[in-house]
Structure 1
Amino acid sequence: MMSSQDRSEIAFFDVETTIPARTGQKHAILEFGSILVCPRTLVELDNYSTLVKPSDVSLISLSSVRCNGISGKDVASAPTFAQIADRVFDILDGRIWAGHNINRFDCPRIREAFQEINRPAPEPKGTIDSLTLLTQKFGRRAGDMKMASLATYFGLGDQSHRSLDDVRMNLEVLKYCATVLFLESSLPDVLTANSWVSPNAITRSRGNRKASPEVTGSNNGTPSSSSLVKDHQVTPPQNNSFVDNHPILSLMTPGLGDCELNLAEPGSEPAPDPFNMSPLSNLVEGGCIRPDDTIMETSSESLNLSTANSSNTFRDCIDFLKPDEISVPSITVVLAPGFNGLHKLQILHKNSVFHVCCNHMKVRFGISTKFVDYAGRPRLSFVLDASPDLCQILDACDNLAQKRSLDSGSSSDWRPVVARKAGFVNSPTIRLHIPTVWDGNNARLSTEIYQKESSSTQRVVFSRYDIAELDALLAPGTFMDVYFSLDPYDYQQNAGIRLVAKKLVVHS
């Protein structure tokens, strides 16, 4: 690669990894690929790619091979990550990083790999995550905005899921998107007349679904949720004119503080933040939280536990059915309209959306924080023993949803909702997720929690956020009545049904 003294290039990079076969298992890097690109001409200046042998080759499952085609035999003679760490560090450190979904996937994998060999990870001076930013600026013209969908949209061929090929395709996609947006901005009345999303499109917030003008710059108001992530507090180039008009650098995520890039006109009001997820709380309180929305979770504060008399505040309009009220032949799975014109799976009972209520369920494992969101904040969940009646219903939902997923063209690895571990086939379990909403500096649970005693039931009110307090309340062996939704998901080659807790009644 180029001299380590020259840090002006954009480092497009991609990693191919194993697909975890069980809960808690990490991804292992199987391939690293990168190209260095001149930010002014977009010409590829240099490249590097290599297969990587994981510390445990048995982690390469059939799902991994199906996804990227890299087998244990392919990496048998490849270097370990420790052997290529110097090269990777030299490529990435101090440069602008670019890639598709890198903030949520590739960047964490790089940091994990360096952590495993007890070495400091490289740090970027800027990031360009083409998934997030093209979705904002280009709209949902290419459907789900995955790299394969974008490549098909622009006629660039099939995605190979190999690192070097993918980063080159990523650069081409950015060029095409930037060109289309440039042309549309030149003749907006002509070129956007029949466009799905115009350059000045009105976008909808996931939280309140109210229209707000799309913006292209950051502001001096409340920092965005993405810019609050410590790992991405980076320094953008300082030439605002150059950045503003650059087809690629105009998409870069700026840093905070003294280095914040303010593209607003002098004296104008701060522009609304397109990444502000605080309105999501309205969606959660309305009982409409979706699997992808649960990523906005945090454990940044401690909290005190208090109780209040329960009332009829819970969503009476939601149809919760007990297992004996559910007829398996009446369960269907359909493709329903989702966000931004996309479709997602929806599970129905007698042609109506339904939620499940199960009484006297036993906690097998308490609160887990091993799952995290893109910012490294814990996503809370716990494990319950599942009765045979409930397993029969969930297995039926699983089978129907998986078939519908395959019929719709998904190639993601399906994860069963009921866990049956070897040696414990007669003790099936389910994982229940407790969504947490982060609103500014405050975190709160969206699940309603009650404590039931012999003579009364009281609402548990969390005034501050303390996972340890919640873990003590939901300790192993505790019995509770559980109200939950069934939310299908398909994300990063993993698909399944996520069970989301709406209400918990803990038996004292």
Structure 2
Amino acid sequence: MEPFLQSTPPPPGPGCAAGIAFFDVETTRPTPEWPRRALLEFGVILVCPRTLVHLGTYSTLIRPFDLPSLPPSELFRSNGITPEAIAAAPHFSEVASIVFRFLDGRVWAGHNVEAFDSARIREAFAGVGMAAPQPSGFIDSLPLLRRKFGRRTTDMQMATLATHFGLGRQLHRCLDDVRMNIEILKCCGMLLLLEPEPERPPATSNSAFQEIREISLDLIGASLVPARPSRTGCKIQLLHRDSPLQIRCPALAVRYGPNRRYCDAAGRPKLSFLVEADPVLCMFLDACENIARTMSLDSGSSSGWTRAVEYNSTCNAFLARLRIPGRADTDDIAYATEVHRRFPSGETCVVVFDRLDEAEQDQLFLPGTLLDAYIRLDAYDSHEKAGILLVVERLVIHCT
């Protein structure tokens, strides 16, 4: 068996023209006697980000310096890598310069590449006293598909996805797994492209929302209305002049960005963020809570009341939590809030919020960012807790 093979060489030098480095590693199994993972195989395919044409391929088996004398079944997977093949392979120090050339300065891609494979590469270079290659970015298909592909399969393991798309069995050999990873991404992309766009609710009318400073507190009331179909009983509906109370709060300042700590019943993250509440907003919400809480007590509820505004001693400010609601008409991670950007020129543009990854979403809500929020006030009483949720129907984010 050849200890390594190299087909077409990589383009000279790093950079975007050099392609995306899809790579994979195979390692020993950790055991109580030898808990570390030693590198046994490395494989990489360079792909053009514009055409998906393969620009270069390299694969090699690697012989660890200090492989212990344990039974092969304890150290090796059942994937065709044998002690005899490893004994004929080069040490990592003999191939490190080639690996470096394929990886340094390129986007690193793979399934769980950021958490696992890249760590093994850095360990291997440290083990031979060489500086490790540095990525220009990551495309990790494991979290990417969890976020974009939703719950179409039982899990996002590559073997499960391969079975789902009829791509065969995962072999746990580097180049085979890299090729399978690329094909899975192509299949997922094609499926998402062919799926019809779910119908979105009609655009929110600004006229349904009243400027908070123009609302007369004396005209705020409440009534009991039927709960949504999935719940029994009634819920409290806050009203202004006998219409559902919806408010517009201009120029709110973000204090803390998105929180995704909690998930809904389908496992999708609930998205919320904290804004500074000025005295006008605090007074308004106090009035609404007094009305809703009185009706809650009169209705026989014994749930503890959670305030919509809380004082935060760390930042010495009153903070209100705004919630971006998820959409119930899809299994994907999707949100119902309309999001717009407003530029200093006065022009606005729509932000397709669902298509942003978490890092891009976080960039919209950096501390100090000003935004206009169109808010629906939802009273709730569930699991011994009651209060008012500030649900954002529309956001206009001020861009500097």
Q: TM-score, normalised by structure 1?
A: 0.38
User: Which of structures 1 and 2 has the bigger CA Rg?
Assistant: 2
Superposition TM-score, scaled by structure 2 size? 0.47
